[in-house]
Amino acid sequence: MDQLHQLKQMTTVVADTGDIDAIRQFQPVDATTNPSLLLKAARDAKYAHLLQEARDWAKEANTSTGTTLAAMTDRFGILIGREITQLIPGRISTEVDARLSFDTAATVNKAQQLIEQYEALGISRERVLIKIASTWEGIEAGRQLERQGINCNLTLLFSFAQAQACADAGIYLISPFVGRILDWHKQRQPDADFSLARDPGVQSVSRIYRYYKTHGFDTVVMGASFRNIGEIQALAGCDRLTISPALMQALADQEQTLERQLSAEHTSRDTRTTLSESQFRWSMNEDLMAQEKLAEGIRNFAADQVKLEQLLQGA
């Protein structure tokens, strides 16, 4: 049995792509998208009909010019999500505009709109996760949405403080970014050995996983943003892992036995702590890596959102 199939026996595998053909090939349980993945899909001719459908829908909505553009991009993401839900048994994660990352009320409103559109297409909210950046404001939006029965995926998560706050907020799922943590450390220590268990991204997710299991949090841990299959192998047994098609293929090409690395029996040395807003912000201020990568991630997703808007507007 190849390692992809072995991994599926101990971890829920999620496709980190907007490529419908890849999802059809690898048959994940869930799938995630983000502005960068949607932009890539929008540039592919095979999705041109969905771009046009998004344009037509926004125009028929009879909104103002500025709102029409936002409506087009939202609709395109939902249409990609609709296609994906026809191929997977689980959930699709759809991201809120990154430019709303520091506005709780606007994030809640946008999430409600996305869910309403999914439901109008016959896709229940139980099959959707709303992706929100793990800022203080985003986590608070997630808290409010969870109370409304809208499950959330808190993304761009790089620090233990973010994970603590998400658990306390009752967030359904978090996406700690393994590879981007590694990128930051490699840039500063290019000659260091960050293989396997020495990988700081792997260490971060392992710590969060143990903390959640030890203290009985229901929040799902889904490792994300992998740079190599070694990181995935080192997190085998994590609740979920969202993996690109290229790395799923690399795992499918491996025949060696895949050993479980994480289990619910693993205990944490971290005591359960509820962070106030000031404590959260101070922890983020003290963690240069998390601070820089969160800000960079928001900027990059926002930039790709703008590119997607321009593509929809100009094509």
Pick from 171, 173, 230, 168: which is nearest to 198 by CA?
230
Asked if 258 and 6 touch (Cβ cutoff 8 Å), the reply is: yes
Cα gap 25→15, rounded to integer Å: 11
Residue pair 313/76 in contact (Cβ under 8 Å)? The answer is no
List all residues 6 or more positions away from 263 whose beta carbon is below 8 Å from its beta carbon: 237
β-partners of residue 68 are none
Looking at the structure, give the CATH architecture of the domain made up of residues 3-314.
Alpha-Beta Barrel (3.20)
Whole-number pLDDT of residue 201 = 98
pLDDT means over runs of 10, the chain (315 residues): 97 95 96 93 93 89 63 94 96 97 98 97 98 98 98 98 98 98 97 94 98 98 97 98 97 97 93 98 98 98 93 77
- Give the pLDDT of residue 266: 85
DSSP 125: G
Give me the long-range contacts of 18-25 (CB less than 8 A, separation at least 24). 18/80, 18/84, 19/44, 19/245, 20/80, 20/83, 20/84, 20/87, 21/46, 22/245, 22/248, 23/84, 23/87, 23/88, 24/87, 25/245
From the list 131, 213, 293, 307, the catalytic residue is 131
Residue 45: CB atoms within 10 A of its CB come to 7
**pLDDT value of residue 290:** 98
Buried b (16+ CB within 10 A) or exposed e, 77-116: bbbbbbbbbebbeebbbbbbbbebbebbebbbebbeebbe
Could you state, in order of their start, the residue ranges of all structural domains in the chain?
3-314
For residues 285 and 67, give the distance between their C-alpha atoms in angstroms, rounded to a whole number: 35
Q: Provide the token pair at 147.
A: 């109370």
Catalytic annotation present for 59: no
